[in-house]
Every structure is written in structure tokens, then in C-alpha cells.
Amino acid sequence: MMFRCVPFAMIVWLCSAHAAPAWSGVTPPSVPDVEVIDQDGLAHRFYGDLVKGNTVVINFIYTTCQSSCPAATGLLSGVYHRLRAAERSVTLLSVTIDPVHDRAARLKAYAAQFGAGKGWYFLTGASADVARLLAALQVSVSNKADHPAIVVIGNDATGTWTRLYGEVSVPMVMDSLEAAAGWPAPISSSVSQ
Amino acid sequence: MAHRCLRVSRTCITLGLFLMVVCLARPSAAAWIDPLTPEERQGRNVYHYGEAGSTDHVGVNLQGVEGALPPTLFRCAGCHGPRGEGTQEGGLRVPPLTPSVLRHAREGPSVGRSRLGYTDAALANAITQGLDPSGHALHPSMPRYHLTSDQVAKVIAYLNRIGEESDIDPGVSADAVTIGAALPLTGPLAQIGQDVAATLRGAVRRLNQQGGIYGRYIELIVEDSRGEPGQTALAVSRLVEIHQVFALVGSFEPAGEGRTRERLAQSHVPWIFPLTPSPQLSDPPNSSIFYALPGFDLQFRSLVDFFVSRTIPLTGTSHPRLALVHRNGPSNAEALRGALEQVRRHGLNLAVNYEYSVGRLAVLALVAQLEQQGVDAVLFMGDGEDLVSVAQELDRRGMSPIVLSAIGMVGAQARAVPSGLHSRIFLAAPIDLPTEREVASLRALSEQASLSSVGFARLAQGAVSLLAEALKQAGRSLSRQAVVHALEGCREQDTGAGFSVTFGEHHRLGRVASKVVGLMPDPPYVSPVSGWMVPEGEP
């Protein structure tokens, strides 16, 4: 009974020691159009304003997390700086899984520590809305500290979606982005590490 | 060998002389002797806090991202654990760093990738290049740190001691924990400071008479803050940097003093119950400072809620006209902010907004304005003397508006308002007033015939009692982080000083609710007219 409660995504994640793309090329269940608040306190429709027609990278964090979130956000910071250097238009979305405590001001302070600027949103919202978002993106959060380190990469225009788990590196995200965005020339190799 | 013994004994004699001098100068002073070498201690600071001292910067390179990342977020202890035990969070499994694990080869698929045991050179490579002893890249979440070779050597020296009994925070030894308080022992607030110091000493003495905590005695060091912001910062820095105290209890924190807090945030020193009417709460909170009672902002919000809940019985109208009377100053600014927030929340009608400076209260003009505007209630933010002047003029003119203020602002002087107005005055109180028995027991504890500030003495008593509880919770293997964690776990924790506190991971204010009390002509002069009220809008 316990086993049946574990979502399929969790099983994939538990079985993967190293980073592995899952549901590659599969359109995820529709991204909900819930209202979210960014680090500047501005409200957005998650799908309508941030995802629709865009190439996006989504991860999940909370600001009081000690180890995995700084690492996961640091990873996105690497991606962000590579994208800016290559002048690629990709939207980065870091969604808090602790919306009650991570309000806009706290997210802003956190975002600033990672050099986040235009095109990188740190998002909070009503607990129920954030829960819907996590469910739709198949991120299982039984408790904060156990949230899986997942990066979701998607191109809404083409419906190409990928999830990365485990030992994710900047080049891996860049490769997935290349595939999702259908960029003509590979950029992961054109920018030296 | 004989030579070494001689040197040791000479050191002991010198140390003994030094201690004698210190003891003569400051009877309560105790010297904490660091079991780690200075190099190991500095390595420990890099490991735990991502800080290599006040001048040297620790650089972090994560997956090629340079420069921008804050070392405090990527401190070693965050992932590898405060005792190098390794952690697991968010699907990230971080290996332990204790010598028994690091120095030995790891083999077989059950423990992940095989590798050789770490030598010092291999450890330096891991820290600065992100490579294991076999030359494989470490997990991408392991940053590469930019440290000088000297700093790397210090971190490695510390890693040889990590998790040992000697791997302890400052102020802790096998048989003692040293704590400190910065109090105004001289200057205009000296009497209060002396009383608080006496209370702290009494509470610590009682704790030690009961055998201390896990066989450790508590040693208290008091430094003179002279009641000035600059001197308070200096006193705190003497406590933390020279005396190496483990924690602060019931220390003074003058309003508007940010430097003291910053210094403590850097040193991660737990501070239980700063003595202040204005808790300086930030978001995210300063993790090591635990305040006891709500400031004037929360008190005035509760007060406005109380007024709104009784508008008609108190004023005879459902649309009362309000006046704000406030003396400018930092703690009143907070009260003003809280009051205005709640006035807006309830859509109250603010007819008069009167601000004045110390000694510049124009009583006649003010009361004339209140009369002219037909004010039903006054939110008063000034001292007791000003309140009495205003009340006397109101009484002379036969006016009796409701007057709302805080007991912590107007104090015992409020009793001097004309008796005809007693039933019209309501004061917010963040704590139950002490019973006569409680006052008597505080006097006995502090061995003082009278106490100039019973409120501060209670906070001091509560601070020591809460520290004792946190030390018990934290266990014999003591660390500042364990104490902070234990304090975060307090739920309606009795402080033994007539009030209880609740903290949490995100909560650094022990109490949020206030009571409202009314004035009475006879002892005990005040009587509660409401239960505990959490201001509307607070979670």
C-alpha cells in the first residue's frame, strides 16, 4: 500500500543514481495557470505570463534549505550566466516549496545572492496554488527537506519537455535546452567553462 | 622532555598570574582555553561559516560560476554537517568528512565510486579543484573554493580534528560554559544595569548550586555598556572576542543599534532575550537572536483591535473620531507604524495627528484641538509625565475621551492621572504584571532590597532559565547551533519568570500577544480588561 502511494516520478528518481532525463519529449500534464508572485512582488499567471510560448528552466527551492537548494540554485546561476553570455532568451523559474515563509522580500534577498536579474523569476504564491503547480509538474514533496532535486526544461511552443535528476551539471542543462529549444548551433561548446 | 615540562610549568605560572590579575580586576571573569590550535580554529571558521577572517574572502566556484556566489551559503558545514557527519537533503547525499572516512580508501559499488584514501595533497585538490584522490571529478554540487594555500592548510588541520571532543564552539570546556551580558553598570542607567546583573548572577548561582548542566557550571561575565550604543557594541565585542563567551543572556540592546546585531550574526553567538522595548526583527530573521516580548508596534496593534471590539460601549458611537498623539523617537516610531497599520486595517477615522519633541508638548493647544475636533479616543505615544499633563487638562475642561497607550511607555506614573479619568484609560501590556510573591522572589534571587526595573529583572531571570533549558535540550555535546535549534523548538516554554515563549525556525519573537489593562485607584493599580490578543493580520 505504501509502495503504491509513491508517485511514478519518485520511483524513477529513487532508481537513478546519476542524472537521467525522464519523460523526454513528452508534454507534461498541462501547466496550471495559477497566480504567482515574483521576488519584486509582481503577480504573474504561471502559464499565461511565464511559460506560454517560451523556453523555460524550472527548479524548486526554499530559502532556509542548507545544502541542496544553494547547489540547485547555484546550478541555475551557472545556466543563467551561460545563457546571458550567449544572448539566448530563456526564462528561469525558481519556485519555492515553502510559500508560507518565502515571501517576495525573502526571495528577493535570496535571488540577489545568486546574481539573478532579468529573466530569472523566484516565485511564491498561495500555498494551494503552489501545491497545484508542484503536482502538475510531478514534483512530490512530502516534507521540505526531502524534496527531490529536479530541473524541468521545457519549450512550450514545441511541447518538448525534459526532467533532469541527480548529478545535474550546467552542460547537461544546456544540452537539454538546446534540444528543447531547437537552436541551430550548439552553444554549450561555444562558451568555454 | 624535562625541558618541555619546565616550559609547560612556566606557562602555567604565567597563566596563573594572568588569571589572578584578571580575577582581581573583574571577580566574575573566567578565561576559556581553546583546545584547538589557532590554525585549527581558523579552519573551523571557514568550515562552519564560510569566513576566513574579517579581511580574507572565500571565493566559490560552482559549475564554472565565478565570483557571484556567497561563501556563507556554500559553507562546508551546510552540506557536510556541523560535525562532518554528512547529510542528505533534497535527494543530495553528501558524504561524511571525518578522518576515519576520508583517510581510507573506499571500494565497491555499494558505497558509490571507488576512490583512494585522501592525503593532505588530495584534500587540497578536492577543496580547490573538485577532484577526488583518483582524479575523478567530485559531484557537481561540490564547489571549488578559492583559498590561499595557508587557508587550505588550516581547513585540513581542522578536518583532522572534526567531530572530536575538542571540536567545540568558544566558551565551552569540559566543566564550564561561559556566558556574557553587556549591561549599563555606569552612567544614567546604572541602577537598572546593576539590578539586572545581580539578577543574572543570582539565577546563575542557583543553577550552579543545582549542579550546573550535564556537569558543566555556568560562568557569567558582565561587561559595562554604559548605556550608549557605541559602548554597547564595544562591550559585546569584548565579550565575544576577548572573553569568548558561548552565548549572551539578557544583555542591553539600545534602540537603533545595528552594529551589535551584525557583529553577533557574524559570530553566530546565541543571544537570549535582549533587553529592549523594540525587538529588531528582520526577514529572514537574524538566526541567533531570540527576543522575548512584543514591541510597541504589536502592542499598539492589539490596543487598536481592543478599541475596535468595544467602540460602542466605550465611546457611544460606531464611528469614533481618533487622535494620534506621538512624541518623536525610534521606539515611538514603531508604535506609530503599528497603530497606523491597524487604523487603516479597521478603516478608522483619524481626525487629529499631533507630533511633538521631548519637552515641547503644548498641552493647552493639543487639548483645544482635541475638543474642537470632537475626538472620542486618543492613541497616546509619550511618557507618563506627558500623559498626566494631558489628562489633567482634559479633566479641567470636563473632557473624557478614551486614552489608549502602553504600560511600557507611560509606566507607573500613569497612576497620577485624575481619578475621574481612570476608567477611560487603557494600556497594552506584553506580559502579566508580577504578583507580590513574584517580586519578593526576584528580590531574593538578586539579593537586592528593591529593584529599579522589575520588568528587566524578570527578563534576565527568564533568559537564564531558558538558556538552562536549551543547554539541557542540546545535550552534553554542546554547540551554538544545537542551542539555537533547541530554542527554535520552544513551544509555550515556561521561563520561570511569569511568562512563556514560543519560537520556531522562522520565529524569533517569543510572544506576539498583548493584554489590555485598565487603571484602578488602589493596589495593584491595574487590572486586565482583555485576554491575550494577537493583533489582527498576524498569522
Q: Is B283 on the interface with A (CB under 8 A)?
A: yes
Contact B140 A115 (CB under 8 A): no
Q: How far is CA B213 from CA B168, B177, B234, B470, in A?
A: 16, 9, 30, 10
Residue A112 pLDDT exceeds 70 = yes
Strands B92-94 and B87-89: antiparallel
Closest Cα of chain A to B167: distance in Å? 21
Query: Who contacts B230 (Cβ-Cβ below 8 Å, separation ≥6)?
Result: none
Give dist(CA B318, CA B85) in Å, integer: 63
For cell 505504501, the residue is: A2
pLDDT of residue B109: 63
Q: Is A122 on the interface with B (CB under 8 A)?
A: no
Q: Which domain holds residue B100?
A: 38-86+94-105+112-159
Contact B89 A72 (CB under 8 A): no
> Which of the residues B63, B66, B80, B538 would you substitute to probe the A interface, choosing the one with the greatest number of A C-beta atoms within 10 Å?
B63
Give dist(CA B529, CA B313) in Å, integer: 13
Q: Which residue of A103, A149, A170 is in closest CB contact with B63? A: A170
Number of compact structural domains in chain B: 3
> Are B399 and B349 part of one and the same domain?
yes
Is B4 domain-assigned? no
Contact A113 B69 (CB under 8 A): yes
Bridge partners of residue B223, in order along the sequence: B182
Q: Which domain holds residue A109?
A: 20-181
Is A193 domain-assigned? no
Q: With contacts defined as CB-CB under 8 Å, which chain B residues touch A169? A: 63, 140
Which domain CATH number covers A44? 3.40.30.10
Question: Using alpha carbons only, how large is chain A's radius of gyration in Å?
Answer: 16
Closest Cα of chain A to B69: distance in Å? 6
Q: With contacts defined as CB-CB under 8 Å, which chain B residues touch A193? A: 64
For residue A66, the chain B residue with the least C-alpha distance is B78
Question: What's this model's pTM, rounded to 2 decimal places?
Answer: 0.81
pLDDT of residue B20: 34
Give the SS3 label for residue B271: strand
For residue B92, the chain A residue with the least C-alpha distance is A68
Contact B89 A145 (CB under 8 A): yes
Is A186 domain-assigned? no
Is A68 domain-assigned? yes
Q: Is B109 on the interface with A (CB under 8 A)?
A: no
Residue A28 pLDDT exceeds 90 = no
> Are B284 and B310 part of one and the same domain?
no
Q: What is the mean pLDDT of chain A?
A: 78
In terms of DSSP H, where are the helices of B26-142? 38-49, 76-80, 99-102, 120-129
pLDDT of residue A85: 87
Give dist(CA A109, CA B70) in Å, integer: 12
Q: Is A117 on the interface with B (CB under 8 A)?
A: no
Q: Is B79 on the interface with A (CB under 8 A)?
A: yes
For cell 482635541, the residue is: B370
For cell 584534500, the residue is: B123
pLDDT of residue A165: 78
Contact A75 B140 (CB under 8 A): yes
> Are B219 and B353 part of one and the same domain?
no
Number of compact structural domains in chain A: 1
Of A22-26, A65-69, B153-157, the poorest mean pLDDT is in A22-26
Bridge partners of residue A22, in order along the sequence: A163
Contact A67 B65 (CB under 8 A): no
> Are B455 and B388 part of one and the same domain?
no
Is B438 domain-assigned? no
pLDDT of residue B490: 95
> Are B338 and B423 part of one and the same domain?
yes
Query: Who contacts B175 (Cβ-Cβ below 8 Å, separation ≥6)?
Result: B215, B216, B217
Is B353 domain-assigned? yes
The DSSP result for A15-32, as a single string, is H-SS---BSTTPPPSPPP
pLDDT of residue A185: 55
In this prediction, residue A161 has a pLDDT band, given cuts at 50, 70 and 90, of confident
HSE-CB for B389 with a 13 A CA cutoff = 15
For cell 546563575, the residue is: B204
Give dist(CA A106, CA A108) in Å, integer: 5
Contact A67 B64 (CB under 8 A): no
> Are B520 and B382 part of one and the same domain?
yes
For residue B143, the chain A residue with the least C-alpha distance is A71
> Are B222 and B335 part of one and the same domain?
no
Residue A5 pLDDT exceeds 70 = no
Is B9 domain-assigned? no
Contact B73 A147 (CB under 8 A): no
Contact B78 A75 (CB under 8 A): no
Q: Which residue of B70, B92, B283 is in closest CB contact with A113? A: B70
Which domain CATH number covers B479? 3.40.50.2300
Note which residues in 63-92 of chain A have CB less than 8 A from chain B.
63-72, 74-75, 77-78, 81-82
> Are B524 and B408 part of one and the same domain?
yes
> Which of the residues A60, A63, A68, A151 would you substitute to probe the B interface, choosing the one with the greatest number of B C-beta atoms within 10 Å?
A68
Work out the burial of residue B437: count CB atoms within 10 Å of its CB; fewer than 13 is exposed, 13-18 middle, 19 or more buried. Answer: exposed
Give dist(CA A18, CA B359) in Å, integer: 72
Q: By C-alpha distance, which of B359, B366, B300, B303 is closest to B328?
A: B359
Is B463 domain-assigned? yes
Burial B272-288 (b: 16+ CB within 10 A, else e): bbbbbbbbbeeebbbbb
Please say whether the beta carbons of B395 and B365 come within 8 A: no
> Are B306 and B418 part of one and the same domain?
yes
Closest Cα of chain B to A160: distance in Å? 25
Is A7 domain-assigned? no
Bridge partners of residue B404, in order along the sequence: B379, B426
Q: Is A6 on the interface with B (CB under 8 A)?
A: no
Is B239 domain-assigned? yes
Contact A78 B73 (CB under 8 A): no
- Cα-Cα-Cα-Cα torsion B261, B263, B265, B268, nearest 10 degrees, comes to -130
Give dist(CA B465, CA B203) in Å, integer: 8
Which amino acid makes up residue B285?
Answer: P
Is A161 domain-assigned? yes
> Are B290 and B301 part of one and the same domain?
no
Q: With contacts defined as CB-CB under 8 Å, which chain A residues touch B284? A: 63-64, 106, 109
Across the A/B interface, how many CB contacts are shorter than 8 Å? 95
Residue A9 pLDDT exceeds 50 = no
Is A160 domain-assigned? yes
Give dist(CA B349, CA B481) in Å, integer: 48
Cα-based angle B233, B239, B244 (whole degrees, multiple of 5): 140
Is B425 domain-assigned? yes
pLDDT of residue A13: 36
pLDDT of residue A19: 44
Query: Who contacts B306 (Cβ-Cβ below 8 Å, separation ≥6)?
Result: B404, B426, B428, B516, B529, B530, B533
Strands A55-61 and A91-96: parallel
pLDDT of residue B255: 58
Is B66 domain-assigned? yes
Closest Cα of chain B to A165: distance in Å? 9
Low-confidence ranges of chain B (pLDDT < 50): 1-29
Q: By C-alpha distance, which of A186, A182, A129 is closest to A153?
A: A182
Q: Which residue of B63, B90, B139 is in closest CB contact with A147? A: B90
Is A117 domain-assigned? yes
> Are B487 and B520 part of one and the same domain?
no
| Per-residue cell: B468 | 538552562
> Are B327 and B413 part of one and the same domain?
yes
Please say whether the beta carbons of B117 and B104 come within 8 A: yes
Please say whether the beta carbons of B447 and B203 come within 8 A: no
Q: How many CB atoms lie within 10 A of CB B245?
A: 28
Q: How many helices (H) and strands (E) does chain A have?
A: 6, 7
Please say whether the beta carbons of B39 and B33 come within 8 A: no
Contact A68 B92 (CB under 8 A): yes
